[in-house]
Amino acid sequence: MSDIFHEVDEDVRRDKAANLWKRYQTPVIVGAFLVVVATGVYSFYESNRIKAAEGANVRFGAAAALATQGKSAEALAAFEAVVKDAPRGYATLARLRAAEELALSDKAKAVAAFDAIAEDKGVDKLTQQVAKLRAGVILLEQGERQKMADHLGELVIANGPFRYTAQELLGLDALQDSDFDEAERAFKIILNDQEAPHAMRQRAGAFKALLDAARGSSSAATPAPAAPAPAK
The CATH number that applies at residue 121 is 1.25.40
Q: Which class for 69: exposed (0-12), middle (13-18), buried (19 or more C-beta within 10 A)? A: exposed
Q: What pLDDT score does 20 carry?
A: 58
Q: What pLDDT score does 155 carry?
A: 86
Whole-angstrom distance, CA of residue 172 vs CA of residue 191? 14
Where in the sequence is the domain holding 29, given as residue range(s)? 25-105
Whole-angstrom distance, CA of residue 148 vs CA of residue 166? 10
Helix ranges restricted to H, 69-179: 72-85, 88-103, 107-118, 125-142, 145-157, 163-176
Domain boundary among 52, 78, 105: 105
Same domain, 68 and 133: no
Whole-angstrom distance, CA of residue 82 vs CA of residue 104? 20
Same domain, 124 and 101: no
Q: What pLDDT score does 42 carry?
A: 44
Which three-class secondary structure state does DSSP give residue 40? helix
Whole-angstrom distance, CA of residue 103 vs CA of residue 110? 5
Whole-angstrom distance, CA of residue 7 vs CA of residue 2? 9
Are 111 and 138 a contacting pair, CB within 8 Å? yes
| CA dist 198 → 100, 156, 191 (Å) | 29, 18, 9
Q: pTM of the full predicted structure? A: 0.69
Which bin fits 70, alpha (ψ -120 to 50), beta or left (φ > 0)? left
- pLDDT tens track of the chain, all 232 residues? 445 445 545 655 665 656 655 666 566 555 554 555 455 444 544 455 566 667 778 888 898 899 889 999 999 999 999 899 888 888 999 999 999 999 999 999 999 999 999 999 999 999 999 999 999 999 988 888 888 888 888 888 767 888 899 999 998 888 888 888 998 999 999 999 988 889 999 999 998 898 888 887 655 544 544 444 444 4
Residue 115's nearest CA partner among 97, 99, 93 is 99
Residue 164's nearest CA partner among 141, 140, 186 is 186
Same domain, 115 and 213: yes
Q: What pLDDT score does 213 carry?
A: 86
Q: Kindly state whether residue 164 falls inside one of the protein's structural domains.
A: yes
Same domain, 85 and 123: no
Q: Kindly state whether residue 141 falls inside one of the protein's structural domains.
A: yes
Phi, psi values for residue 231, rounded to 5°: -65, 140
**DSSP element (H, E) containing 211:** helix 198-221
Overall domain count for the chain:
2
Q: Kindly state whether residue 207 falls inside one of the protein's structural domains.
A: yes
Q: What pLDDT score does 47 carry?
A: 57
